[in-house]
Amino acid sequence: MELYYQKEIETASPEQIREWQNERFLNTLGHVWENNKYYKKKMLEKGVIPEDIHSIDDMWKLPYLTKDDLREAYPYGLMSAPLSDCVRIQSTSGTTGKRVVAFYTKEDIDLWEDCCARAIVAAGGTKEDVVQVCYGYGLFTGGNGLHGGSHKVGCLTLPMSSGNTERQLQFMVDLESTILCCTPSYAAYLAESIHEKGIRNDIKLKAGIFGAEAWTEEMRKDIESRLGIKAYDIYGLTELSGPGVAFECCEQTGMHINEDHFIVETIDPETGKVLPEGEKGELVFTSITKRAFPLLRYRTKDIAVLKREKCSCGRTFVKMSKPMGRSDDMLIIKGVNVFPSQIETVLLNQGLTSNYQIVVDRVGTTDSIEINVEMTPELFSDTINTIEIRERQITEAMKSMLGIYAKVSIVEPKSIIRSEGKAVRVIDKRKLYG
């Protein structure tokens, strides 16, 4: 079995990686300065010109880019190549405001697909595999990215896109899919459907590559045991190309960042100060090989930790932890920071499923939080009394994790709407009152 897609790059020495980064970063900076008026203006406002930047050690002098910049510059403001050189756009879902559109040259797509191919090979993929891609195709990067990577590895690629679970399962069985690519919440839903249909023994899956939303270690274990697979994490953002910015290897202890294409920093999300590697903070990425839409110092809002140590897989790229949550997803309830991932951890540790919903509300000036979670088949046959006892136990566990009281209700099976893409975990009614 091949261990790497691009061995010389993925196992390069730290000195070699730094040399690539320096050269590519300075090239990209020059390219952006020449061709991107929006970022040039930001640099001038900060009083910095390319002559002030001699190596990646001077990166901190450059201004950050945020999603607001991307919205403000919509659609062409942050392009660094002529439109005639571009061959594709991809776009974010735009659920929290105006869409962000990213442009790609042919070469940009080629490099992006290389990154996805690395992820597939790291998950054990070879040309013998059948890869079922049930990320959405179209503007969303998930489908197209993994699809391109799968082609590069030479796998038989099933471009299923999201939804239509019946058809997904039929192809999974008939064409003997071995690698599944989708959101973790959809993987959990597929696992549930497979068990209901009693077709677990007809499934040939060995691995899954799951990303595009936050998920916990507990959810990983749950999916792995229900599908009998290894579940690998993948990370990316449309703004940076799409999935494949970072990917997990056989160790499953964090995702290797493709450092030949991206430079990563961690910063304090409040002050913007750069933190030493290894401290928890917001991830900031600089793309150093893209031509059409290279972003310098893009703030992701994802909170994570970087770890640079020898990995048993032989790869030398730095690893990032699973994002502990987006600073966007963080709820402030009664002044306490709460991440949905903490709630999920408690529920799964308590033997419940990942079918849950968090409802936040405000009565007068007091915040309230309620967690509805579906009962498992085992609980379904229990008496009301037993269920109430379970609710109290989970409420206690929740209180010790979150530090605040959250009402936990165990609800009927299938009463929480399933998602075929990103799950809707939080309903924050407080927003209705502005």
| For Zn ion, the closer CB: 11 or 395 | 11
Tokens linked to 119: 């992820």
Smallest separation, CB 149 to Zn ion (Å): 18
Phi-psi map region of 124: left, alpha, beta (phi>0 left; psi -120 to 50 alpha): left
Pick the stretch among 6-14, 306-314, 340-348, 426-434 that binds Zn ion (CB under 5 A).
306-314
Pick the stretch among 218-226, 234-242, 314-322, 394-402 that binds Zn ion (CB under 5 A).
314-322
Task: For the chain, give percent helix, strand, coil, nearest 5.
Answer: 35, 25, 40
Which has the closest alpha carbon to 125: 229, 54, 278? Answer: 229
Pick the stretch among 157-165, 282-290, 303-311, 409-417 that binds Zn ion (CB under 5 A).
303-311
Considering the rule CB under 5 A, would residue 311 count as an interface residue with Zn ion?
A: yes
Pick the stretch among 63-71, 230-238, 295-303, 304-312 that binds Zn ion (CB under 5 A).
304-312
Smallest separation, CB 155 to Zn ion (Å): 21
| For Zn ion, the closer CB: 152 or 319 | 319
Pick the stretch among 257-265, 290-298, 315-323, 386-394 that binds Zn ion (CB under 5 A).
315-323
How many other CB atoms sit within 10 Å of the CB of residue 434? 4
Contacts 24+ apart (CB under 8 A), 359-366: 359/426, 359/427, 359/429, 360/331, 360/333, 360/426, 360/427, 360/428, 360/429, 360/430, 361/429, 361/430, 362/429, 362/430, 362/433, 366/334
| For Zn ion, the closer CB: 253 or 345 | 253
Judged by DSSP in three states, 344 sits in helix
The CA distance from 113 to 47, in Å, is: 37
| For Zn ion, the closer CB: 147 or 315 | 315
Smallest separation, CB 313 to Zn ion (Å): 3
| Binding track, positions 241-260, relative to Zn ion; x by CB under 5 A | --------x-x---------
Please, are residues 419 and 430 in contact by the beta-carbon 8 Å criterion?
no
Smallest separation, CB 251 to Zn ion (Å): 5
Provide DSSP, 132-197. Answer: EE-S--TTSHHHHHHHHHHHHHT-EEEE--S--HHHHHHHHHHTT--EEEE-HHHHHHHHHHHHHH
DSSP class of 252 = -
Considering the rule CB under 5 A, would residue 73 count as an interface residue with Zn ion?
A: no
Tokens linked to 178: 């071995």
| For Zn ion, the closer CB: 69 or 233 | 233
Please, are residues 284 and 264 in contact by the beta-carbon 8 Å criterion?
yes
Smallest separation, CB 256 to Zn ion (Å): 6
Exactly one of 313, 359, 379, 426 binds Zn ion (CB under 5 A); that residue is: 313
| Binding track, positions 198-237, relative to Zn ion; x by CB under 5 A | ----------------------------------------
Name the pairing type of β-strands 281-287 and 262-267. antiparallel
Pick the stretch among 184-192, 239-247, 305-313, 359-367 that binds Zn ion (CB under 5 A).
305-313
Smallest separation, CB 254 to Zn ion (Å): 8
203's enclosing H/E stretch is none
Considering the rule CB under 5 A, would residue 123 count as an interface residue with Zn ion?
A: no
Smallest separation, CB 4 to Zn ion (Å): 10
Smallest separation, CB 308 to Zn ion (Å): 12
Which has the closest alpha carbon to 283: 255, 311, 313, 312? Answer: 255
Q: Count residues contacting Zn ion (CB under 5 A)?
A: 5
| For Zn ion, the closer CB: 51 or 309 | 309
Burial class (CB in 10 A: 0-12, 13-18, 19+), 351: exposed
| For Zn ion, the closer CB: 3 or 89 | 3
Considering the rule CB under 5 A, would residue 315 count as an interface residue with Zn ion?
A: yes
Pick the stretch among 158-166, 266-274, 309-317, 359-367 that binds Zn ion (CB under 5 A).
309-317
| For Zn ion, the closer CB: 102 or 116 | 116
Tokens linked to 294: 């290279």
| For Zn ion, the closer CB: 258 or 355 | 258
Smallest separation, CB 114 to Zn ion (Å): 17
Residues that bind Zn ion (CB under 5 A): 249, 251, 311, 313, 315
